[in-house]
Chains A and B, each alone.
Chain A
Amino acid sequence: MNRKLFIPSLRELGYFSGFSLRNPLAFGYAGTAPVKVLLTLFRESKPVHTHFIEFPRAQAYIITRESEWNLPGGQTQAGDLSTAEYVSGTNEPIPGDFPCEGQIIMDLPETGARASVLFEMVPVRGKGHKYAPIYHNAHYMLSSDLFETHACMMNFNIDQLETSDGSNKFEFRVLSPDGKTLQVTNRTLAYNSTSLISVSELCNGKQTNDNVAVLARGGAAQFAILSVFLNKRTNAIGLEHSLPPIYYTEAVKHTESRKVFYQKAFGNLWN
């Protein structure tokens, strides 16, 4: 199965993107030589640029920043999504049946702030695959005078690679520490893009100094979700990825219980 590392754009916060990946040959994982990394930039939901990075056979890792990717306009823009995947010397995808973890790196050169997170490359199924709906319970949001939290939602759809049409519908529900609904916002998140959504934005621009939770539920696609914790004074950030429901309940392992799980967890959003 093909796997891709999803790399968001955090241009709204001033950040430049980068990543590191292992060389599967140097670790003895892949027998095919040579191995390259194919980087694809999606802008306004369409693939607008590709760039290849070659591994010298003995080199264990690559670490690369967007300034090396010859991007249109020279840099990423808000909403851009980049993907990185292993390909063969003839540019054929290499099945990711070996440990495929990468590192997303974000740099803010003007201050020297940086953050990174280790992140599994996401398995990308073939065209027509029916994905499970997305259920994201972010009970760890910070929103205060100094801090803000953004849900960074990377939405990849292999069926929509050549078009900018289409999006996922999402409901974002802001909840008080007692579980009471404070705000409900419906958003559409365009395919093959990055959406950065802050807690205060979900609260209609009102700052909440309460420890609110955000429950995001919506349409099926190949999502990867990061939390971006921002120091509003300096724009320094922290990054962490989310975990899918399978880490928290066995219900999603089996067809019958999975159906019950999504019916209950989605309530009237389920159809």
Chain B
Amino acid sequence: MELKNVGRVVSRAWEYGQDKLLNLRSQTQLLFPSVLGMPIRGPLVQFYRNDEKFETRLSLVNYMSYFSPDEAITQNYSLTTYDPSGRRLGRKTLPLLPGQTRQENLATLMEGLVAEYGIFSVNTTYSPRYSGRIRFLGETSPQFMTLFIPKDGKSGPQMVHSHKRFEAWPVPPGASSRPSSCVEDLRELCRIDIFVLNSGPASVSGRILFNSLETKDTLLTLTFDVPGHGVRRLILDEKELGRFSAPASMRIEHNRMIQHRKPILFRTSRTGFVSCNHL
């Protein structure tokens, strides 16, 4: 077996083992919820930007009020922000009373503890931690949405969901290669910004391959090296986009099987409209 395949097997086994351990923890909590509290996934992770083009708004909900409306449960959300190098900037706790939703600028919520862009994590706990009448819910997961509000007055607001876990423990190296379902007609764009996230604490390197739809030939390769819990920004400007004569697909390769392997792509049309989706 080649060395890179050994790495892949180890990496997948690690991921499988980690999922099993988390599942075991969840099942144990459900056996003794009054002592250990109800199981809640997380923390989860997503990307923010806070620059001249976009502000990030975070939308949170006390989902327990909707899943189990006869229980008055407060949800305490905790938010942690990181800068592009993976340095932790700050942590805030935000209680959501029964029935509440909150939709606020992340920079305001974090009292300015944000960078130009980076990742943030979201966790939640219940207060009270347990009631017999919520046991039917089993493990729940924080509900949040990340909205990118444009500052140009012309683009539409953009939104991305997340159900990917923020990782505290490093994943061993092991190659991952994933074709994105995103096809871009690059001839119609004047700029692409791709933000590659690292949900884990160890650095990740890899590349994004732009391929011909017809022949699968690689037309352009962008490489990245992202520090633990960091973000790397990759830019294709008008000159580079001008090299493409047809739509292209993208393949994303990582050297570690981190949880969040879907970079966020912002496209700027030739008339200046910006929109985004994950890859």
Contacts and interface: CB of A to CB of B under 8 A. Distances in A.
A200 interface: no
Contact of B159 (A59, A240, A260): A240
Given A146-B153, A177-B101, A234-B154, A213 B136 contact: no
Nearest to B278: A118
A147 B157 contact: yes
Given A147-B157, A229-B156, A63 B185 contact: yes
Contact of B183 (A103, A113, A114, A253): A103
Contacts, number: 196
Interface in B57-74: 59-63, 65-70
B136 A177 contact: no
Interface stretch (B11-19, B194-202, B237-245, B267-275): B267-275
A179 interface: yes
A236 B182 contact: no
Nearest to A263: B136
A140 B187 CA distance: 33
A215 interface: yes
Contacts of A249: 67, 137-141
Interface string A90-116: 000000000001110000000111111
A178 to B, nearest CB: 6
A185 interface: no
A257 interface: yes
B34 to A, nearest CB: 18
Contacts of B137: 249-251, 257, 261
Contacts of A265: 66-67, 69
B259 interface: no
A179 B67 contact: no
Contacts of B5: none
Contacts of A215: 66
Interface stretch (A19-27, A32-40, A186-194): A19-27
Contact of A139 (B143, B157, B182): B143
B2 to A, nearest CB: 20
B101 to A, nearest CB: 4
A137 interface: yes
A227 B136 contact: no
A224 B150 CA distance: 26
Given A61-B213, A231-B156, A113 B100 contact: no
10 contacts: A112-B273, A113-B271, A114-B275, A139-B59, A139-B103, A211-B59, A234-B155, A249-B138, A251-B67, A264-B68
The 9 lowest CB-CB distance pairs between A and B, nearest first, are A179-B99, A250-B138, A112-B271, A238-B158, A140-B59, A229-B157, A139-B61, A211-B103, A20-B183
